[in-house]
Every structure is written in C-alpha cells, then in structure tokens.
Amino acid sequence: MTDVQAPLLTKKDFESDQAVRWCPGCGDYAILAQTQKNMPTFGRKREEFVFVSGIGCSSRFPYYMNTYGFHSIHGRAPAVATGVKIANPDLSVWVVTGDGDGLSIGGNHFMHVLRRNMDVNILMFNNRIYGLTKGQYSPTSEQGKKTKASPYGSIDYPLNPPSLALGAQATFVARTIDRWQKHMAAMLERSYNHDGGSFIEIYQNCNIFNDGAFEEYTGAEKFSNVIELKHGEPMVFAQGTKGIKLDGFKPKVVDMEKNSIDDILIHNETDLDLAHIIANWTSHPTLPEPIGVIYCIDKTTYNQDIVNQIESAIEAKGPGNVQDLLNSGDTWVVD
Amino acid sequence: MGKTFKTIDEAVIRFAGDSGDGMQLTGGRFTETTAIVGNDLSTLPDFPAEIRAPAGSLAGVSAFQIKFSSKDIHTPGVNPDVLVAMNPAALKVHQKEIIPGGTLIINTDAFTKKNLKFAGYESNPIEDGSLDDYFTLIPIEMNKMVTAACEGLDLSPKLVGRTKNLFALGILFYMYDRPLDATEAWLKKKFKGKDAIIEANTRALNAGYNYGDTTELFMTRYKVEKASLPSGTYRNMNGNLAASLGLLAASERSGLKLFYGGYPITPASDILHMLAIWKHFGVQTFQAEDEIAGIASVIGAAFAGKLAVTATSGPGIALKGESLGLGVITELPMVVINVQRGGPSTGLPTKTEQSDLNQALYGRNGEAPMPVIAPATPGDCFYAAYEACRIALKFMTPVMFLSDGYLANGSEPWKIPNVDDLEDIDVKFAHDKNSENDFLPYLRDEDTLARPWAIPGTPGLEHRLGGIEKAENTGHVSYDPENHHRMVELRQEKVNRIQHDILPLEVFGEDHGDMLVLSWGGTYGACRSAVETLNEEGKKVSHVHLRWINPLPKDLGEIIIGFKNVLVPEINLGQLLRLIRSEYLVDAQGLNLVRGRPIGASTIVETVKKTIG
C-alpha cells in the first residue's frame, strides 16, 4: 500500500551492491538507470517492489535493483509474477523481459497475463535479437535478417508486440526508446499508476549483435521518424511540420503547411479501434514509429477480483472452519 | 417364500454399464450406504477416458467395484462375487473376471441384436447357454420394470429409462440387506426442484428392492456384519478429497493461506475443483494457462509467503520439470502433487500406475534433489498431504506428493481426525538481519539446513532469488567451482536430513523371516492383505510400507538385513526395486504388473510362495 509516511528515497537506494555486467554501451544501462531514478518518485516503500524476470540479457535486471527480485527461468516471468501478485496484491510487481523471453518461449504467458489484467508492469526490452545466446534472430527480427542461425537471411516474419498485446486484451500498451530518457520516465510513471496489467515495449539497442537497429528513432532524423502520442492532442510530428490524417481507416502523413490542425487525427488512448490502427504503424514504410501510450483503459483486475470473490464467499458462508468441514458429509459413529 | 439369510465375512460386487448408464453414481450410492451400515470397504472406480464413447461400445464401458467386509480390509478385491451388467459390452468386458459360480445380474432389455453385435457377440449369451454352467444368471428386463414403476409420471420414456441404474441398486440393496433411506434422501438433495425425477428414481430404487423380495430368483440374502473399526466418527473418503483436506488442514495449522496454481488434468483436476469451492477459507485458486504457468505461479506465491501447491499428473510433471529445478535452487517451500496415471505420453489417462517414481526422483536437470512422499490409502492422502506441507515448510524445499489414480478415486471409511491433534507446523518468516549488517538469504539453520524465508514487503531484507547458482550464505550469483560443489552437496544434505524428522518404519510381522514384502504408494493394501494371508498360513513373511521414498528412512537397511528375500510389488517395471538394489546392495526381486489396474493380493501371495515355498 502506498504509505503517506513513505520515507524519502533516492536513486541510490534502488541500486544493489552487484556489479552490472552488461556489455559496455548496451541500451540496458539507460533503462536501468532511468528505472532506479523513477522508483523513488513513486513515494512507495522499497520493500514493496518486486522485480521478476525470465532469461536473457534484460533478465539480469533484478540483480541490479535493491528491491525484492526474482530471476526466474526462460519465458516464465509473467507466471511467477502472477503468483506473487495474487499472493500479495499490495506489492508493486514488475516484469522485466525481452523479445525472445517474452514473445517466443514465453509467448503464452505474455498473452494470458495481459488477458487477465493482472496488475503487473511488464517492461519488454526489444532489441530484435537474441543477445545472451550470441546473436540469433528473434521473433521481432525483420525478415531477411542474417545471423549465425540464419546465414541466408531469416525467413520468419516478425511479430508486432503492441498489436499482440492489444489482441490479448491488454488494458495498457505503450512504447518508448532507450535513448529517450524523459519519455521513458513518463511511460514508467504511467505504467506504475495504471491499475491493471501494463505493457511497455522499450526499443533497446544491442550494440554487439544488432547495433543501430533503432538508429532511425534515436539518430539525427529521429523527430522525422517518430511520433510521440499524446492523449487528446492532434497527431503531429517532425517538429510540427507533419501530421496524420485518417482517410477512412487508412492513416496518411500530410504536410502541416497545407493542412489545418483541425483535420489532424486526435489521439484517444481509450479508443481500442484507434489503438489497433496505431499499433499497425510499427516499422511501417511510410508512417512514423508511434511511441507513448497507445492504449489505456480502466478494467477490474484479476488480483482484485480474486480478493472480492473470497470476501463475498466469507460474507455469504462465514469464515470456513476446517474441523467442521472434516466433520461434514454422511458420517457414522463407531463406539 | 422361505428366504434365508446367510452371514458372510465379505463380498465384492461390480456395477458395469455404458458410460451413460450412471455406474459411478450407482457405485457411489452403494458405497455410501455400506459405509453407513458400518462395514469396512474399499472401492475401485474404473471409467473410460472418453467422456461419451459410442453407446454400447466396448470402449464406453464404465465400471465400479466395491469390496465390503465385517473385517479390516485393504483392497477393493479382484474378482467380483456379483456382476451387474447393464449391456452386452459390459458383460463382454467383465464376465471373465467374475468368480466361478458368481452371480450375474443382467439388463436383458439392452441385449438387442445391434448391441450384441457391437459388443462382438455372435449369439446372445443369455440364451445360448454359454454362461449357465459357470454362473448364476439373473436376467431382468430392467427397462420394462422401471417403465411400469414410473407409470403415470410426466416423464419421457428416455428419462424413465435412465432410472434403471437405481433399479439395479435396489436389487443389490435387497441382496445385501441394506436400507434405502440414505439414497432416497440423497436423491431429494441431488434433484432438488425436479420432483418428477426424484419420484421416478425413488420408485425405480424401491421397485428393484421389491423385485428382489417378490421373485424367487433371490432365495438367499446375505448379511455382512459391522466391521470392528476403532471407535470414532467416520465418513467415506476418497484420495483426492483427502489430499485437498490435508492441504487445508496444513494451511490452518501453519497459519498460512493456501495458494493453488495448476492446469486441469485427469486424474488430478478434482483437487482444483474442491479447493475452488473453499474460497471462504481464504483459499486462492489460479487456473493457469498451462502446466508451466501453474508451477511458476506457485513459485511466485511461495516467494510471497503462501502455502503454495500445485497438482497434476505425469505429463504435467514433465512440463514442470525446469520450474521444479528453480524451486529446488531457490529453496522455497511448495507441494507438488502428482496423481499418477498410465504412461508414457498421454498413456492411460483414467487408469492407475506407479510409473512416475523415477520422474519424481530424477526428472530434473542437474543435481536437483526433491523429497518424495507417497500416500498408502485413499484416507491416508490426508495425512500424507499434511506431512508434505509440514516438511516443505520446515526444510524450505519443494516436496513431491505421489498419489495415483487408484488412490485418488478409490474410497474407504475414514476416521475423522481432530485438526488440533495433528503435528505442529511452525512457520517463522524472517524479520531481522541475520548477520552483522546484512541479510543473508542463504544462511542456513544448523539442524535442518533450511534457509530463512523473507517475504517481499519485509523492510530491510530485500534480496534477489534466481536460477543461477547461489553463493553460499549471501545468495549472490556465483560461478565459483568450489562454491557450486558445496551448494550441490548442501542441497542434497538438506534433503537427507529429513530422515531425522520422519517416523521410524513399522514392520508388520516378525522383524526377520523368509520374505519381506516392501511396498510404496497405492500397492499398500494388496501387499498388506497378501502378507496377512501368508501369515495365516504360517509363512514367515513380513511387510514394510514406505511413505517417504526420498529420503529413504534410515532404518530400512537394518530391516532388510533380517530377511532372506525381498519382494517389491509395483505397477511399473521395477523403479523402487532398482533403487533398493542399488542403495542396499540386496538381491531384491520385483513383482511388476503394468496393466493400469491395482495388483491383486492373490498374485502377491502366489509370487511369494514361488520363492519361499
């Protein structure tokens, strides 16, 4: 529970004594630093945070957070986190995963934790490559990707994570980028404040096996290639020079010099149809890459419903008595 | 009429029919009444994996056997004295098992040309004389009987026809002198609000009873006197319910709320069903998306401080293997129930087997020792589940509970225990730092080697668990070779130390002799019955039953030395046998029958005699 008397903590309070062992230059450093910086701003006790991860480079994350943590096994972090959250709904539970861990081996759990609206915060570091196993293509790698496992180019089509999350009935879907620190801070905060399952895809550069995968969104041209979604605001990008209009269900980029702001599509993060449209802009040849909160609605959480069911059962039947239960049914006495 | 009563010690009856004939229900009602009149009893439900195989097919035959007695019995018996066959397929499947001279009660209305052909009969066995020499044949037109009994009721002929199982039950109640009132009361409850159905079934039940009374087909009735069970209040109990109650009792006595995470699978699903009802006990049940999520959620809940449990069968354990290793290395308390069924792969989902012992002991990567406990009887599932929880919590370890389909679905009279009399379960969460300035999550208790349980939410004890090898005491990630060796040994040593916390073995019979029958799990009853028979014949044979298989009890080696021979009956190809041979260097022999059914006591008797004469 959020405590009004919560002690004032700093970033340092969230740094563990373990040496961070990602490759120098890895995008994970930026995400770790930003998370450690954000945590104290939530005004919650440190012992109430639990970070759960699977396997992969990103999944080493909990070791570096001075909170409760669980580095579990490949793909299963959402299921472990589910157990933690049901067992103690008062905890703030975070899942740290990657594109391989979360979408390949753990795809099933990813889908169901979102479907249930389990109140956990999923941070998926998407570097579009398998880093820890040294560079095989991942479920988000583009088709044709040449890796050790695909010397002639990968023939797999990539997944679109926000579309998948929306399809799984997620109640909070957002995207940010490792190099967009302020933006990431805002997304972490939104995720924390969302009462329900939340999914943030974080584009993360793997400078060893997939360097520059997101260069378009972090380099000199980033403002031309990225659109920052803001609820209730028109969808303009490229420093206000371009906007997006809907032609039926088809979005198209227009020049703002020739179009009125009034004709530009307004972002509404509670509109599921719009969210699906926006999610489809991922890696689109003509549309900018959307970042920000794509979708966010309120819906009862699984963890709250399980509490409610137990409470109403107790109300209806009275608190269970084990001895009475043992004694129930057809009984007979032997003297 | 001159009907006579004959008092007998025990009887075995079997109801067999189509999946839709309600044989499990009929057997269940006979069992309940038999329990209430005070006999000792043991049951064996035997149903197909298909929910509804084609009506009249051999694959669709469902059966229920019960043995009841005025004496203390341990098994549901093998060969029935009475077979109720509701159709030709049921007769075909079961007739070879009736004892010579046994009674066959047959619903002749189902012996149509089509059904006979479907069951593979070229001529009608009721009419061609093929059964007459061997059995007492009682053909009854049951459909006609219930139609007459239900005359005037506003029910379709189809619904009326469905009451014929109650008619058959009425006949058996007459034969064995059992009251109808418990079944009548049950019908009222079961079909509450459906008065016509209650009336039809009640009439069918009474019609069956009266039919037995008025015809001259049943000139002898049988009395089975009350069994002299220890004094107390009893109820009939099956294994899955007993296990569920055991978990709940452990929750109560440990003060921890129960968390159950699992995926439906035969024959374990009833545990999920029962726990899901007990929400007013604070029980949390989570039906996961798959077996792996089931155990992963259990690991999460255990980390967060619950009494965390999952239940599955062999295929599920296979899927959970990697996670169980995580449970072992993170040293969190949890109970993993495997209600064994026939394998490999999908195998025989509704049949019993003991073939997952190796999987329980060794089915994980790396050196991943896990304590393994197995209940002996349906009622014992309560105590074994309680014990599994107690050890898991005391030693901070996953515990494997190996039940089986026979124990899970079989039932016996069960003396209701007092929850307060059960052994204490003392749980202490860590609240303070345990070294100078630090909290060491892997600093161990000197006696049990258990590590402290510090749950999220506890200030100052923040720590990280995980599947990478842990440094001793600190629990930090460590790749140090010496540390790894030490931790492998410590995890094994911790399990070994459970030996000091479990009861010594009980030798049934002399502590030396010609043969020791050594059993584990659901073969307990057959082994005990066999040894009783052999002792009555003067054979020097004793019985030891293992409850804990890992660790093996420390007195087992000494006991084995006292016997010239050791026989290990198992429903597998010798999984405990090989363990015993390697652990104690003894030339033990196996009795291995893997037919998806319990091993009969008489088979064990014969095998022992072959060796010792």
- The mean pLDDT value for A281-298 works out to 97
Q: Tell me, yes or no, whether A322 lies in a domain.
A: no
Q: Tell me, yes or no, whether A263 lies in a domain.
A: no
Within 8 A of A322 by CB-CB distance, chain B residues are 245, 248-249, 251-252, 281, 419
Number of domains chain A is built from: 1
Query: Which tokens sit at A244?
Result: 């997006």
d(CA A250, CA A246): 5
Instruction: Single out the residue in B223, B257, B285 at which a domain terminates.
Output: B223
The answer to whether A127 and A167 are in contact (CB under 8 A) is no
CA of B232 vs chain A CAs: smallest distance (Å): 5
Q: Tell me, yes or no, whether A143 lies in a domain.
A: yes
* Residue to test with chain B: of A17, A47, A114, most B Cβ within 10 A: A47
CB contact under 8 A, A320 and B281: yes
Indicate the residue of B38, B306, B459 with minimum beta-carbon distance to A334.
B38
The H or E element spanning position B43 is strand B40-46
d(CA B578, CA A50): 44
Residue A290, Ramachandran bin (φ over 0: left; ψ between -120 and 50: alpha; else beta): beta
Q: Tell me, yes or no, whether A247 lies in a domain.
A: no
- The mean pLDDT value for B348-359 works out to 97
d(CA B403, CA B373): 9
Residue A334's closest chain B neighbor by CA? Answer: B231
CA of B609 vs chain A CAs: smallest distance (Å): 37
Residue ranges of E strands in B290-370: 307-312, 334-340
**pLDDT interval class at B131 (50, 70, 90):** confident
CB contact under 8 A, A86 and B234: no
**pLDDT interval class at B219 (50, 70, 90):** confident
Average pLDDT, chain B: 96
Backbone dihedral angles phi then psi of residue B335, each to the nearest 5 degrees:
-120, 130
Around B327, how many Cα atoms within 13 Å sit in the side-chain half-sphere? 35
Indicate the residue of B248, B280, B326 with minimum beta-carbon distance to A72.
B326
Query: Which tokens sit at A155?
Result: 């023939």
Q: Tell me, yes or no, whether B454 lies in a domain.
A: no
d(CA B441, CA B329): 12
> pLDDT tens-digit profile of B403-438?
999 999 999 999 999 999 999 999 999 999 999 989
CA of A170 vs chain B CAs: smallest distance (Å): 16
CA of A56 vs chain B CAs: smallest distance (Å): 12
Q: Tell me, yes or no, whether B268 lies in a domain.
A: yes
> pLDDT tens-digit profile of A107-153?
999 999 999 999 999 999 999 999 999 999 999 999 999 999 999 99
Contacts of A128 (CB under 8 A, 6+ apart): A99, A138, A140, A141, A142, A145, A158, A206, A210, A213
Q: Tell me, yes or no, whether B110 lies in a domain.
A: yes
For residue A147, the SS3 value is strand
Q: Tell me, yes or no, whether B341 lies in a domain.
A: yes
Cα separations (Å) of B556 from A317, B501, B592, B611? 48, 15, 21, 22
CB contact under 8 A, A70 and B286: no
Tell me which residue of A194, A192, A216 sits closest to A203, measured CA to CA. A216
CB contact under 8 A, B467 and A72: yes
Q: Over 90: is that where the pLDDT of B3 sits?
A: no
CB contact under 8 A, B304 and A109: no
* Residue B51: predicted pLDDT: 79
Around B484, how many Cα atoms within 13 Å sit in the side-chain half-sphere? 10
Average pLDDT, chain A: 96
- The mean pLDDT value for B472-491 works out to 97
The answer on B54 and B118 residing in a single domain is yes
Indicate the residue of B279, B456, B464 with minimum beta-carbon distance to A309.
B279
> Which residue has 């990567």 as its token pair?
B365
CB contact under 8 A, A327 and B281: no
CA of B495 vs chain A CAs: smallest distance (Å): 22
The answer on B252 and B192 residing in a single domain is no
* Residue to test with chain A: of B68, B279, B283, B418, most A Cβ within 10 A: B279
Residue B185's closest chain A neighbor by CA? Answer: A330
The answer on B201 and B256 residing in a single domain is no
Within 8 A of B36 by CB-CB distance, chain A residues are 330, 332
Within 8 A of A84 by CB-CB distance, chain B residues are 300-301, 303-304, 456
Indicate the residue of B233, B236, B461 with minimum beta-carbon distance to A327.
B233
| Exposure string for B569-588, b = 16+ CB within 10 A, e = fewer | bbbbebbbbebbbeebebeb
Q: Over 60: is that where the pLDDT of A179 sits?
A: yes
The answer on B216 and B86 residing in a single domain is yes
The answer to whether A168 and A194 are in contact (CB under 8 A) is no
Q: Tell me, yes or no, whether B453 lies in a domain.
A: no
Indicate the residue of A65, A84, A108 with minimum beta-carbon distance to B456.
A84
CB contact under 8 A, B419 and A73: no
* Residue B129: predicted pLDDT: 87
- The mean pLDDT value for A155-181 works out to 98
Neighbour count for residue B112 (Cβ, 10 Å)? 14
Tell me which residue of B291, B326, B286 sits closest to B308, measured CA to CA. B286
Within 8 A of A70 by CB-CB distance, chain B residues are 300, 303, 330, 464-466
> pLDDT tens-digit profile of B133-186?
888 999 999 999 999 999 999 999 999 999 999 999 999 999 999 999 999 999
* Residue A4: predicted pLDDT: 53
Q: Tell me, yes or no, whether B294 lies in a domain.
A: yes
Query: Which tokens sit at B141?
Result: 């037109």
CATH number of the domain residue A191 falls in: 3.40.50.970
d(CA B596, CA B604): 17
Residue ranges of E strands in B451-512: 464-466, 507-508
Query: Which tokens sit at B295?
Result: 């155990």
Q: Over 70: is that where the pLDDT of A5 sits?
A: no
Is-cis flag, bond preceding B100, omega within 30? no
Report percent pLDDT > 70 for chain B.
100
- The mean pLDDT value for A219-234 works out to 97
Q: Tell me, yes or no, whether A77 lies in a domain.
A: yes
Within 8 A of A323 by CB-CB distance, chain B residues are 418-420
C-alpha distance across the termini of chain B, in Å: 49
> pLDDT tens-digit profile of B17-58?
998 899 999 999 999 999 999 999 999 999 888 877 888 999
CB contact under 8 A, A66 and B419: no
Laid out side by side, the sheet with B103-107 consists of: B40-46, B61-69, B10-18, B82-85, B103-107, B136-140
CB contact under 8 A, A63 and B466: yes
The answer on B86 and B41 residing in a single domain is yes
Indicate the residue of B234, B280, B299 with minimum beta-carbon distance to A313.
B280
Residue ranges of E strands in B276-385: 284-287, 307-312, 334-340, 372-373
Laid out side by side, the sheet with A49-53 consists of: A226-228, A289-296, A172-177, A198-203, A120-126, A92-98, A49-53, A68-71, B464-466
The answer on B272 and B249 residing in a single domain is yes
Chain CA centroid to CA A154, Å = 26
Chain CA centroid to CA A24, Å = 24
* Residue to test with chain B: of A12, A48, A80, most B Cβ within 10 A: A80
Neighbour count for residue B436 (Cβ, 10 Å)? 6
Backbone dihedral angles phi then psi of residue A290, each to the nearest 5 degrees:
-80, 135
Neighbour count for residue A310 (Cβ, 10 Å)? 18
Is A250 buried (19+), middle (13-18) or exposed (0-12) by CB count in 10 A?
exposed
Number of domains chain B is built from: 3
Q: Tell me, yes or no, whether A207 lies in a domain.
A: yes
Instruction: Single out the residue in B185, B202, B223 at which a domain terminates.
Output: B223
Residue B252's closest chain A neighbor by CA? Answer: A322
* Ordered alpha helix ranges (H), B377-456: 380-395, 405-409
The answer on B219 and B242 residing in a single domain is no
The answer on B155 and B53 residing in a single domain is yes
Backbone dihedral angles phi then psi of residue B384, each to the nearest 5 degrees:
-70, -35
The answer on B111 and B195 residing in a single domain is yes
CA of B419 vs chain A CAs: smallest distance (Å): 6
CATH number of the domain residue B131 falls in: 3.40.920.10
Indicate the residue of B261, B416, B459 with minimum beta-carbon distance to A326.
B416
Instruction: Single out the residue in B223, B252, B277 at which a domain terminates.
Output: B223
d(CA B359, CA B596): 18
CATH number of the domain residue B320 falls in: 3.40.50.970
Indicate the residue of A62, A63, A83 with minimum beta-carbon distance to B297.
A83
* Residue B130: predicted pLDDT: 87
- Rg, chain B, Cα only: 27
Is A157 buried (19+), middle (13-18) or exposed (0-12) by CB count in 10 A?
exposed
Query: Which tokens sit at B300?
Result: 């999460």
CB contact under 8 A, B249 and A322: yes
Q: Tell me, yes or no, whether B288 lies in a domain.
A: yes
The answer on B280 and B138 residing in a single domain is no
CB contact under 8 A, A109 and B293: yes
Q: Tell me, yes or no, whether B474 lies in a domain.
A: no
Q: Tell me, yes or no, whether A1 lies in a domain.
A: no
CA of A258 vs chain B CAs: smallest distance (Å): 52
Report percent pLDDT > 90 for chain A.
96
Indicate the residue of A62, A65, A330 with minimum beta-carbon distance to B236.
A330
Q: Tell me, yes or no, whether A325 lies in a domain.
A: no
pTM: 0.95
- The parent domain of residue B327 ranges over 235-421
The answer to whether A97 and A58 are in contact (CB under 8 A) is yes
> pLDDT tens-digit profile of B521-559?
999 999 999 999 999 999 999 999 999 999 999 999 999
Neighbour count for residue A155 (Cβ, 10 Å)? 10
Indicate the residue of B226, B282, B456 with minimum beta-carbon distance to A91.
B456
Within 8 A of B456 by CB-CB distance, chain A residues are 47-48, 50, 68, 84, 88, 91
d(CA B463, CA A54): 17
- The parent domain of residue A34 ranges over 11-219+300-306
**pLDDT interval class at B122 (50, 70, 90):** very high
Within 8 A of B238 by CB-CB distance, chain A residues are none
* Residue B516: predicted pLDDT: 98
Neighbour count for residue A249 (Cβ, 10 Å)? 10
Query: Which tokens sit at B174?
Result: 């007459």
Query: Which tokens sit at A228?
Result: 């920052």
- The mean pLDDT value for B381-400 works out to 98
* Residue B161: predicted pLDDT: 95
Around A243, how many Cα atoms within 13 Å sit in the side-chain half-sphere? 20
Contacts of A214 (CB under 8 A, 6+ apart): A177, A178, A179, A203, A204, A205
Residue B34's closest chain A neighbor by CA? Answer: A332
* Ordered alpha helix ranges (H), B478-518: 481-496
DSSP B123-180: S-TTTSSTTTTTSEEEEE-HHHHHHHHTTTSS--HHHHHTTHHHHHHHHHHHHTT--S
d(CA B270, CA B339): 11
Within 8 A of A325 by CB-CB distance, chain B residues are 245, 248, 278, 281
Q: Over 60: is that where the pLDDT of A3 sits?
A: no
Cα separations (Å) of A200 from A29, A90, A93, A163, A186? 17, 21, 14, 12, 11
The answer on B247 and B205 residing in a single domain is no
Q: Give the amino acid at A117.
A: N
- For the ranges A95-104, A106-115, B227-236, the lowest mean pLDDT is seen at B227-236
Indicate the residue of A84, A306, A323 with minimum beta-carbon distance to B300.
A84
* Residue to test with chain B: of A21, A82, A169, most B Cβ within 10 A: A82
Within 8 A of B282 by CB-CB distance, chain A residues are 310, 314, 319-320
CATH number of the domain residue B531 falls in: 3.40.50.920
Contacts of B124 (CB under 8 A, 6+ apart): B111, B116
**pLDDT interval class at A7 (50, 70, 90):** low
CB contact under 8 A, A67 and B462: yes
Residue B418's closest chain A neighbor by CA? Answer: A323
Residue B461's closest chain A neighbor by CA? Answer: A47
d(CA B430, CA B439): 9
The answer on B246 and B218 residing in a single domain is no
